[in-house]
Every structure is written in C-alpha cells, then in structure tokens.
Structure 1
C-alpha cells in the first residue's frame, strides 16, 4: 500500500497565483494545461535499493525526507500553492517527491521563505532543499549539491518595446527587479560593477516581497524589467499576454552553464544518496515526465553531478 506523503506549510502568506498578477488560478491552468488543484496526480517512481542504502540509518529509520522549499511567496511553475491555498505544488515539489520515493521515504514538504530555507539547511531542520537553487562557488563553501536541471535566467519586460538584453551593457541606467540573495542578483551586481568601470551608469536594483508586487511595478512602469528564473518568466509571459522575454542567459554567468541542485549541509553524508536517487529517476523516465508536465523539458540533464563548478565568486 502506498504511503500518504506528509505536507507541512510553515509561515506562508496568502498567495495569489505568483507570476500571473491578478489573474485567477483557474484561468492560468486553462491557458497552459497545468493542473493547479490540490489533487496533483503526480508522476511516481519506485524505491531504488542502491540509493536507499546510501542513507544514514537515522533517516531510513525515521522514514521521512524533510524537504525545505524556499518559495513562500510563490513562484509558478517552480513552487507555489494549489487552488486550496495550502497544498505545495510545482516542479520543485514533484522532483522532491521522486527523490523521496526513490529513497524509500515519505516526503515532508516544508514551505518557507528563501532566506529561512538556508537557515533551515544550516541547522539540519531540513534534510535537503529543493527550491531552484543554483550551484555557486560561494554556496559550495557551506553546502553539497546534487544537480538535476539546467539553470537559465531571463529578463521580462512589457510587450512591444525595442529594448533587448544581450549583455551587461544593455542594462545600464535601467531599473531592474530581482530576488534578494539569488544568483540573478549576483550577476546583475557584477554587471553593474563592470558598467561603472566602463563609465556607464549602473542599473537601479529593486526588490519586492513577492511576484505579484514585482509584476504590478512592471505594469505600472516603476521598473523596466524583472530578472528571474526562466521557467517562471516563460510561464508568466504565456499566461499574461502582456509581457515578453527580452534576454535569456545561463544562471552561472557567460562562461558556464548554470545548474540547479538538491542542496544539503556540507559533509553531512547525504549528497551521494540524493545523486543516486536522481540518477535512478532519470534512468527510469519519471524525471523526464515531471519536466514535461511543467513545460521545462529543455532544462533536462542526462546525469546528476555532485558539486560541479558553479557561478564563480567573481564573474
């Protein structure tokens, strides 16, 4: 008999469909074919004994994988709340489910803020973070990574303009919204530093608590563009009909393909189990079905890597 997964939602604000402004969730689901109900009918997999054997005994005995999801304000299609406003769903949640099942565990999904996600990993409150976390050299000082998806980022602006972004010089003097503490922020800060050295004006960086505020600022002209994860931006461009992607880049900078990874406290003995579970679900096809379900098949990887090169300390 299949065990029922545990779901825990910690400290969540009321959530509109993030990335879709004031549009109702049902409309977005109809437009994209994405199921936003609490009844997800998720892709499933089976236990992989070799991967499960790599787990520490205390986690095997506990029977649950405690997963931190740092998407408390919602990020469609990565991680957000279902129509019942309490069930976590999305691409990152589905990948966490697959990994837990491959390890023979029940997923305990705990949704929190982006900042508190890393605090929870540091304190071992969470066994792992699945939250569109990019591998960076700075993060590798504190965390171990098992990769599972390419990381692309994009700029989104109001539709119909002539402005395109091919590199750092194209943001000079513009006002850009970005998430605090993200690799997108670091890339934008690095571009600002290069522009100042070249005698160009820096971009003004703006931060908002949630995506609905970001898109309100974009529609009202208070910002020129939003820099964020490509899956979220592609989803919003498709559902809103009012914006467009004006530039797309690797999340690890111009010389390296960025990678998204399961993230755990460094040297805690868990990363090899996560890598083995990810490679098992890649091999059995369930991973590809999850990516196709959320329209991000173009970000698939063929194998999970442990601690590959990431966004450099200076880029």
Structure 2
C-alpha cells in the first residue's frame, strides 16, 4: 500500500529495533486483502522519485526507441493459448504504472513504457504469436484487471505465494531477490543476522524485507547481540540521502531497484543478496493470470523457449538482473507460506 507524498523537505523518520512490526497480514487488513499485498519482492518504489531513471555516464538506453530483443513464434507454445485469446491476436498485459526502474518505467519521452517487465512479456507474446498490449495500472488494479477479464497477464514483480495461488495461476520467470545496499567502499558484507547487529538500516514498511529484517533483529537479541536500529523513510530519495550522509549503514530492498541504483548512481554497492522468502523458501517472480484461464501453461512454455534460445538471458543482462535468472519456468510452484489471518 502506497503512502501519501509529502511536500516538506524533512523526511518522515521512525526508528526502533522492535517497533513497526507490521506483518504482511496486518497490512492486508488495511489494504485489499493478503492475496493482493506487496508480498512480492516489492520492486515497487514508494514514490515516483525513488530511483533515478538514468545517470550521466550510464550506457543504459532509457529512450523511447528500445530496440527490444524480439522472439519468434513457437508453434507448440502458441497451440497452448486458449482459442478465445488466440482469436484476438493480442496479449493484454498489465504492468504497474509509475517509475520503478528497471522493472517498469517511462522512457525519456515520459510516454513510452520500458523496463525488464516489458521486455520479457514482449518475448513471451512474440513466442505465442500474439501482439503485446500494455496497460499501465495501479498495483491494486492489476489484480482487478485479472479478476474482471480485462487482462490476460500481469508482469509486475509478483511473487508466487500460497495465498495468491488460491485466486491466480503463475508461470515463473525470475528469482525474487532482495539486496542490502551500502555506501561504495564500505567493506561490509551481509550474510545473516550477525552481520547487521547494531547497524542502522532502512527498510520499507509492510514488505517482506521488513519482516526479514525484524526477524534478524529478534534473533540478534536472543543471541545476546545488539538489535538492528530499523528506520523508515517516506521516500526512497530520503533513504539515499541518509545513506550518503552516514545516518544509516544500509538499505534492505528489492534487488532489481537496488541493482539499478548501484549501476546508475556510482555511489553505492550491493553488500548482500537474499531470497524474498527469507530462509524459508526461495521466492520466485511469475507471470500472473486468472486461475483456470488456461494461460499459465502457455506462458511457461514460451518462457522455457526463450530461456533455451538465449534471448531471456540477454534481456536480464541488459537490465543488470542476470543474478535473478531461472533455468526453467514452473507453473504454480511452492510459494511463500500463507499468512496468518
């Protein structure tokens, strides 16, 4: 759930090693239900200025002419598409509106949607012999679009969860990875709870990464180590200001946006990578479709094809996300455990 933007220059900041322990189910009670919660790797930024869309010296193309890597129709994969979709000749794809590089954001013309989500879903559509049609929507309306039949698929950093599997079908296409970001040259490496003991770390409220960080802090206290001083900022721009000024030691967030910021800012580095599911399970990001639509098998077949021919790897490499690559696509694999009601 997004928070309102503030006009004041002073960042909204709260800190404590134990407060703000909002679990995913608690946030769900305030939002549209746990099935629709940010339980993804939460590549979503907290506001439109979260991550720079490009930086001086960066070779990344953020212009409207993307020269996308395109796929070729595969007859066996295309045959799995239900006739009702095949007859339209198009694949209606929901992506989240706003600026969340490198996932989905607007090019330098402020009109053209670009990002890894658009690139991968275009590959899938090409392989199925369909024309990709993008519909930028708010997070909540992506699921409304699936429920109503307006959308055939959502490519928006959605993690497979057992809660979501009750309403949706999935075809995986990336690992759900989190990262710890620190100032460049910090010499800090984070592998687990002991490496964050006594550190001051920012995290977004109501996310899986917050849940993991709070858990680490609790483990440290039980082991007689110092807890984590957890801080919450309203905007990611404020988080990065605090990081550069030394007010925080690190920021735990989605690997895609952190990887992009590291690449374009030149001021920070990733000092640790973790599954979005924590120690319980390796989280996976998936193409999402309405349960029983018959489309998940087609998406998985298309993804397996582009993984095998190398075009999938080229897309991930382009956006700096090769570490999140899968070796195959699965339909409805084990997801993050159900949240308590």
How many residue pairs get matched?
294
Contact preservation (8 Å) 1:19, 1:212: yes
1:25 equivalent among 41, 54, 59: 54
Q: Within 2, Cα distance between the matches of 1:37 and 1:265?
A: 33
Q: Within 1, Cα distance between the matches of 2:227 and 2:292?
A: 43
| 1:3 corresponds to | none
Structure 2 unaligned residues grouped into runs of 5+: 1-45
1:268 equivalent among 293, 299, 304: 293
Alignment RMSD, CA only?
A: 3.0
Q: TM-score, normalised by structure 2?
A: 0.74
Contact preservation (8 Å) 2:203, 2:209: yes
Q: What is the Cα deviation at residue 125 of structure 1?
A: 3.2
| 2:77 is the alignment partner of 1:48 | no
Q: What is the Cα deviation at residue 53 of structure 1?
A: 2.1
| 1:296 corresponds to | 321
Q: Within 1, Cα distance between the matches of 2:288 and 2:306?
A: 17
Q: Within 2, Cα distance between the matches of 1:126 and 1:179?
A: 29
| 1:34 corresponds to | 60
Question: Aligned pair in 2 of structure 1 residues 184, 78: CA closer, same or farther (>3 Å)?
Answer: same
Q: What is the Cα deviation at residue 302 of structure 1?
A: 1.8
Q: Within 2, Cα distance between the matches of 1:123 and 1:180?
A: 29
Q: Within 1, Cα distance between the matches of 2:222 and 2:145?
A: 38
Contact preservation (8 Å) 1:171, 1:203: no
SS of corresponding position for 2:176: strand
Q: TM-score, normalised by structure 1?
A: 0.80
SS of corresponding position for 1:227: strand
Comparing 300-309 and 244-253, the one that deviates more: 244-253
Contact preservation (8 Å) 1:91, 1:291: yes
Structure 1 unaligned residues grouped into runs of 5+: 1-12
| 2:260 corresponds to | 235
Question: What are the within-5 Å matches in structure 2 for residues 1-315 of structure 1?
Answer: 15=48, 18-20=50-52, 25=54, 27=56, 30-31=57-58, 33-70=59-96, 72-161=97-186, 164-171=189-196, 176-179=201-204, 182-191=207-216, 194=219, 201=227, 203-204=229-230, 206=232, 208=234, 211-220=236-245, 223-313=248-338
Contact preservation (8 Å) 2:98, 2:106: no
